[in-house]
Structure 1
Amino acid sequence: MSNSSLITHLRHVDVAMPNFAEQRTFYTELWGLTETASDSGVSFLAAEGSPEQYVVRLREDTQKRTDLLAFGAATAADVDTLATRLVTQGVRLVHEPKVLDTPGGGYAVRFFDNEGRVVEVSADVTPRKHRRIEARESIPVRLSHVLMNSPTPEATVAWYIKHLGFRLSDTMCVGGRGEIMWFLRCNTFHHSFGIVRGPHAAFHHASFEMRGVDEFMRGTGRMKRQGIERLWGPGRHRAGDNSFSYFLDRAGNTVEYTTELEVIDEDTWHPHVFDLKDPANADQWGTADEMNEFIAAKSHNDIDPALFVAPPM
């Protein structure tokens, strides 16, 4: 049974780490997010151009972990429908649909995916008053997409397609070594979510959309001048046709500035397989260094210690 109409968009990604204060400073003073709410050891961070109450939640913990991935649904009835379908399909819930006490409120169900990540789907969250990002203003407009590492990527991609109705947009491969990256969509953006073949389940990267190429380059330059470790970029991918500059945050998570992510026509789109043996498939511009094992290993990240363990909030 298809759930394709129930997931509308990506809302936020929630992460935990021991060095909370350092992370909070990175995202507010350097990366360009705005803290809209906070409590002891918790910070809710919004993108100025987005109606989402927050796009990143930071939480202090003794362990570095991904707390959850949050997606939107159109109505509370859709959340209930999805919850019923998940239970029928044998998916383990973290909690039944209920009213949220996070900024903006709402109504949500939480559940574990096949590898133990926590996923939340919510509706009726009060939109945040946001604003137009001005020319040359190099701060994120919105959270664009999140990718996760998986040691069983084919099964994980199939799980998200079966249970949440995601659609496959494109796949990356490396010659005869097979497929390594899958881009999944829940609306007309080329991808809001994706899976990367990796040695273990972990956060791969979160990407933030900028106003345009000029703002993207200004943000890239600001990170460089501040001495933030740059992994890869600037360049422009083939799959999704978006620009990219990847950096490491203060907990060693990969974060990306991007812009101009492709918007696709659902009626005519057919998935492609792009081979990274052709360097133009990784970077159409040819401005980024060649992808190598060092860069890939950094984005493999640390093993997530909290699979099938729900976060405390």
Structure 2
Amino acid sequence: MSHLNEHGITHLRHVDLAVPDYDVQRRFYTETWGLTEVGTDGRLSYLAAEGSPEQYVIRLRGGDDKRLDLIAFGADSPASVDALAARLGSQGVQLISDPAALQTAGGGYGFRFFDIDGRTIEISSDVETRQHRAVEEGEAIPVRISHAVMNSDDPNRTRDFYARVLGFKLSDTLWGEHMGEMMHFMRCNDWHHSLAIARGPHTSVHHVSFEMRGLDEYMRGTGRVVRAGIKKIWGPGRHNAGNNTFSYFLDPSGNTMEYTTELEKIETDQWHPSVYDIADPMTQDVWGTADPMSELIARDSFNDPDKGVFVAPPV
């Protein structure tokens, strides 16, 4: 299908976070959020989604600093990995590592680099898949990682980097009269977005989203997290751009995590990105069940300035 990524990037694999409150976070992601710990290595925890063939979708690392360690994307072949590394190098992008055998769970072949905001990005192919299963009716646990949204103080520059250098395509944009372009939804496959760039005061994680089996499971999961006393920022509701449901929560470290379901698939190259005005209540929540988006809600997902900018993670 010609609308797939021109450089062979296939999908979002995992998001790796460093957290000072490692034990608290491990409990949150396993007991409350519904991920499965599939391995540990010292103060590293590998967390899988039961319905996903990925080895893990979140990696937690206990550390002094809260930071994004990296975002990992899959590639279709070692040749694509090599070609992309050469392309990035020729465009002046700072490589952290050259393509090589990976030492992480599932092995594979990949490399790391800094994106234009200083996030560590990994591209890999040939990672072994994990034994996974169909999530059953009524089972309110994540099926897979859906997308990652990152804050940038120059979201148009970041959008252009991912489009020009990595071949991501723009799906839609959110716009506000006072702030201009607020969020760009970017795709590397037929999901409406695997990555989005939000306007924020600094580089940081905006949110990480997890796909649930369906509406019932999404609502059951939302209720479970609410009952666990976790702060709900926004939702439940349904966005216009992407047509997906949303319930946003703050994890114990202050990173925003989302349950979603029914994210739109784009199955044509003839897609024309729309610009949605955030002042229109239908833009934010077509159901009208969530509180209107406000500065207070937005500020919760600005997060702390990321201490990992242009600093490669130790592992």
Q: Which TM bucket (shorter chain)?
A: over 0.9
Q: Which runs of 4+ in 1 moved over 3 A?
A: none
> Residues 142-291 of structure 1: matches in 2 within 5 Å?
142-291=144-293
What is the CA-CA distance between 1:249 and the residue it aligns to? 0.4
Q: TM-score, normalised by structure 2?
A: 0.98
Q: Which residue of 1 aligns with 2:27?
A: 25
Q: Which whole-Å CA distance do the structure 2 matches of 1:156 and 1:71 have between them?
A: 17
- Contact conserved, 2:204 with 2:305, CA < 8 A, in 1? yes
In the alignment, what sits opposite 1:47? Answer: 49
Query: Contact between 2:150 and 2:197, CA under 8 Å: does it hold in 1?
Result: yes
CA shift digits 1:134-181 (9 cap, x unpaired) = 000000000000000000111111001111100000000113531100
Partners of 1:3 and 1:82 within 8 A in 2? no
- Percent identity reads 59
* CA–CA distance in structure 1, aligned partners of residues 300 and 134 of structure 2: 34
Report the more deviating stretch, 217-226 or 263-272. 263-272
Contact 2:7 2:166 in 1 (8 A): no
In structure 1, the partner of 2:68 is 66
Query: What residue is the counterpart of 2:137 in the other structure?
Result: 135
Tell me how far apart the structure 2 counterparts of residues 266 and 82 of structure 1 sit (CA, whole Å).
Answer: 25
Q: Is residue 3–residue 163 contact of structure 1 (8 Å, CA) maintained in 2?
A: no
Q: Which amino acid aligns with 2:190?
A: T
The total of aligned residue pairs comes to 312
Distance 2:269 2:249 in 1: 35
Note the residue ranges of structure 1 that are not aligned, 5 or more in a row. none
Give yes or no for contact 1:231–1:295 (8 Å, CA) kept in 2.
yes
What's the offset of the Cα at 1:3? 6.4
- Asked if 1 retains the 8 angstrom alpha-carbon contact of 2:5 and 2:188, the reply is no
The residue type paired with residue 280 of structure 2 is D
- Which whole-Å CA distance do the structure 2 matches of 1:131 and 1:236 have between them? 27
Aligned to 1:115: 117
Give the SS at the match of 1:102: coil
The question of whether the paired residues in 2 share the 8 Å contact of 1:170 and 1:272 is answered with: yes
Whether the 8 Å CA contact 1:107–1:122 is kept in 2: the answer is yes
The answer (yes or no) to whether the contact 1:10–1:72 under 8 Å persists in 2 is yes
Matched residue of 1:164: which SS? coil
Tell me how large the CA RMSD over aligned residues is: 1.0
- Pick aligned residue for 1:9 from 11, 20, 24: 11
Give the secondary-structure state (helix, strand or coil) at the position aligned to 2:9: coil
CA distance in 1, matches of 2:248, 2:5: 32
Which position in structure 2 is the counterpart of 1:308?
Answer: 310
Provide closer, same or farther for how the CA distance between residues 176 and 17 of structure 1 changes in structure 2, counting only shifts above 3 A. closer
Letter in 1 for 2:194: S
Asked if 2 retains the 8 angstrom alpha-carbon contact of 1:76 and 1:124, the reply is yes
In structure 2, distance between residues paired with 1:92 and 1:280: 41
Letter matched to residue 179 of structure 2: R
Shift, 1:73, TM fit: 0.2
The alignment partner of 1:101 has SS state of coil
Cα deviation, residue 39, structure 1: 1.2
- What is the rounded CA distance, in whole Å, between the counterparts of 2:278 and 2:25 in structure 1? 33
Q: Counterparts of 2:96 and 2:110 in 1: how far apart (Å)? A: 11
Q: Secondary structure at the match of 2:134?
A: coil
Q: What is the letter of the counterpart of residue 143 of structure 2?
A: V
Alpha-carbon distance in 1 for matches of 2:267, 2:42 = 45
Is 2:7–2:84's contact at 8 Å kept on the other side of the alignment? no
| Matched residue type, 2:141 | I
C-alpha distance in 2 between matches for 1:164 and 1:5: 7
1:67-103, Cα deviation, whole Å (9 max, x unpaired): 0000000011110010011111111100000111111
Contact kept, 8 Å, 2:99 with 2:111, in 1: the verdict is yes
Equivalent position to 2:294, from 264, 270, 292 = 292
Q: CA deviation at 1:266?
A: 2.6
